[in-house]
Structure formats: structure tokens, C-alpha cells
Structure 1
Amino acid sequence: METRRRTILKAVIWNMIGLCVMSVVGLVATGSAAVGGTLAIVNTAIGLTLYFVYERIWSKIHWGRFHA
């Protein structure tokens, strides 16, 4: 099982990577840094929340884990 702090840190780092990627994709898709950036921020906020919930649920599932 991992701690909430670890889950939060993993979620933040993963979503920072996603924010950068989505900013570029949004810019290319819309031609606007403002619109692309807004899309990226909204996507990141939603993704961060869902990732955290997803990881917390999986942290309680013992299937497929090795216990030393």
C-alpha cells in the first residue's frame, strides 16, 4: 500500500507532463496559445482528480501484489 502523499506526488508529476503535452496539442489544434492552454489546464485538473481517485481505489485492491 502506498501513502496518500506518494499518490498525490505521482499524480502531480504525471499531470505536469500531461499539461505540457496538452498545451502543445491545444496550440497546434487551435492555433491559439490561450485556448490551447485553457484546454490543457481543464484537462489537467480533471485528470489529476481522476488519477488520484483511481490510484486510491487500486491501493486498496490486493490482487496481483506480492507481500514480502
Structure 2
Amino acid sequence: MQVWKTRARSSNKRSLLKTLSWRTTASIDTFLIAWFVTGAPLAGGAIALGEILTKLVWYYLHERIWAHIDLE
């Protein structure tokens, strides 16, 4: 079983676009939850901003690792 394999469908550009679309969705969710919990939209925005910056990098790296794993 070959685990590391390159696939044309899992390009760097595709991973980057998926990362950006997911981060947008997830950050809106984080903002709304933080606003609800704190009662302050500014606090919600600050929390969401911090989350955006760190999780963009982590998700991209996670996506690239999984693009090379063949479980079949």
C-alpha cells in the first residue's frame, strides 16, 4: 500500500482556496458565538480575528498532509 501519492485534484491552489472558504465560514461562526457569549460585538471581532490568523496556517498544513495520504 502506497501511502504518499500526488493527485492532480489536490493542487496547492485548490487547497488554498478551500482553506480561505472554510476559514471565512468558520470565522463568521466564531464571531457570532463570541458575540453571543460576551454580549460585545467588538470582543467577538477580536476573538474571530485571532482565530483567523492562526487557523488559516493550521488548516492549510493539515490539508496538504492529507492530500498525500492514500488510505486505499
TM range (shorter): 0.7 to 0.9
Aligned to 1:61: 69
Partners in 1 of 2:70 and 2:29 — Cα distance? 33
Asked which structure has the greater RCO (Cα within 8 Å, sep 6+), the reply is 2
Q: TM-score, normalised by structure 2?
A: 0.81
Q: TM-score, normalised by structure 1?
A: 0.85
Q: Tell me, which stretches of 5 or more residues in structure 2 are unaligned? A: 1-6
**Whose helix fraction is larger, Structure 1's or Structure 2's?**
1
Aligned to 1:25: 33
- Name which of 40, 47, 52 aligns with 2:60: 52
Tell me the number of residue pairs that the alignment of Structure 1 and Structure 2 aligns.
64
Identity of aligned residues (%): 25
Q: Which runs of 4+ in 1 moved over 6 A?
A: none
Aligned residue identity for 1:5: K
Cα drift, residue 42 of structure 1: 1.0
Q: Tell me, which stretches of 5 or more residues in structure 1 are unaligned? A: none
Cα drift, residue 19 of structure 1: 1.1
